[in-house]
Chain A
């Protein structure tokens, strides 16, 4: 599972931030994981919780926003909301959605002490 690699990348981002603006621990870690980001959120939580002990993330509350994806339909020309790739258009039922958003995977902000 790649969620462990992603959790390590998140920890690195946070540790780099802790050097730039000194803080010793994170109270809350706020992430955005779009529905089209190809990330299993539960697995990411588990991975972060496994990595956290003895790091700056120890004891941090994890807040994860999961915005829906948006896609443009080739046939009815609507921009529709989707939660997964490979689905027909929820508006007209045809196949041919081009995903445009909702695949972000980023660290939004931190509450630190």
Chain B
């Protein structure tokens, strides 16, 4: 819990009814098997009993992720989880993004949480741009999880500065609280650069606003169908290193088609951190992100539902 503003609630411990499988009626001496939590009597297994658990294995992580999410939103922080295979250009893209934001939008505070197995090389590159970064070394681990991100965020100046501006609960005096369903631009951006891995991070919610999957044109256009779980979990796909396209046989349209097979609503941005092409669209998405219901195009699923409902209405009218 944040001790300054109390903005995130402590994890709720799930209380399960206690008791053993056997209850003895004090008055009659009757024995009641199966009166415990599971309410199951299994004859022949007098020394064993069943206990109903029904708990999501990732429940503990997801509870911390929800706390992170509430914490970020109440502090006007937009957190993005950047995922990709190693070598896609995440850190280079981040450095270029930071420089562009520092020039074009100096009022937006930035911070980075870096995840790698070892070394602080990436965090050092970020710090060289003047932006604070915390490196998380996972050791043998292959992904970041919500508790790691919670600890790193607590150590960032982004967190304490937000308190200084009195934005503890997402209702800042100047109405810039980011908690109002993304109507306003975020006050600060937190980039979480996950461990380079297109498999495991898909399962671990960190409390981010969105997952951004980064794919470079040197990797092969069928990556989305080879790693469907990750591309299905992402809101945006950023296709990087497009300055190299003249030297490659990479079919951009086919890559985008593959991505839309596994995620019909994925938004796709193409850019080069080196040449600067496409960077403006990326910045626009980072900063403006319109409220979906208001101005963004309907998702394909929503559009299809609307179409079917209209057909149903038409058929009903004809029946009457």
Tell me the A residues contacting B by CB distance below 8 Å: 1-2, 5-6, 9-10, 12-14, 17, 20-21, 23, 27, 31, 38-39, 72, 74, 77, 84-86, 88, 95-96, 98-99, 104-113
Contacts and interface: CB of A to CB of B under 8 A. Distances in A.
Interface stretch (B104-112, B195-203, B241-249): B195-203
Given A38-B203, A106-B54, A110-B51, 17 more contacts: A1-B142, A5-B145, A9-B61, A17-B16, A20-B16, A21-B19, A21-B37, A31-B57, A72-B301, A88-B261, A95-B261, A105-B57, A107-B53, A107-B54, A109-B53, A110-B53, A113-B47
Contacts, number: 112
Given A27-B48, A98-B264, A99-B232, A109 B58 contact: no
B56 interface: yes
B304 interface: yes
B314 interface: no
Contacts of A77: 304, 308
B55 A112 contact: no
A20 B18 contact: yes
B60 A113 contact: no
A113 B21 CA distance: 10
A78 to B, nearest CB: 12
Interface in B188-230: 199-200, 202-204, 224-225, 228-229
For B16, B51, B52, B61, the residue with the greatest tally of chain A CB atoms inside 10 Å of its CB is B51
A23 to B, nearest CB: 8
A5 B53 contact: no
B143 interface: yes
A98 B37 CA distance: 37
Interface in B44-76: 45, 47-61
Nearest to B52: A109
A109 B199 contact: no
B54 A109 contact: yes
A77 B300 CA distance: 13
A86 to B, nearest CB: 4
Contact of A9 (B38, B47, B58, B232): B58
A71 B228 CA distance: 15
B311 to A, nearest CB: 10
Interface residues of B, number: 46
Contacts of B47: 113
A86 B228 contact: yes
Contacts of A108: 52-54
Interface in B153-204: 199-200, 202-204
B16 A2 contact: no
A13 B20 contact: no
Interface string B255-279: 0000011101000000000000000
Contacts of B54: 106-109
Nearest to B45: A111
Contacts of B232: 85-86, 99
A46 to B, nearest CB: 16
Given A9-B58, A109-B54, A96 B48 contact: no
A106 B55 contact: yes
Nearest to A88: B261
Given A2-B200, A85-B232, A99-B232, A17 B57 contact: no
22 contacts: A2-B199, A2-B200, A6-B58, A9-B60, A12-B60, A13-B53, A17-B53, A21-B19, A27-B48, A38-B203, A72-B301, A74-B300, A95-B260, A99-B232, A106-B55, A106-B56, A106-B59, A107-B55, A108-B52, A108-B54, A110-B51, A111-B50
A107 B49 CA distance: 16
Contacts of B261: 86, 88, 95-96
B262 A86 contact: yes
B57 A6 contact: yes
Given A1-B200, A85-B228, A21 B20 contact: yes
Nearest to B18: A21
B48 A111 contact: yes
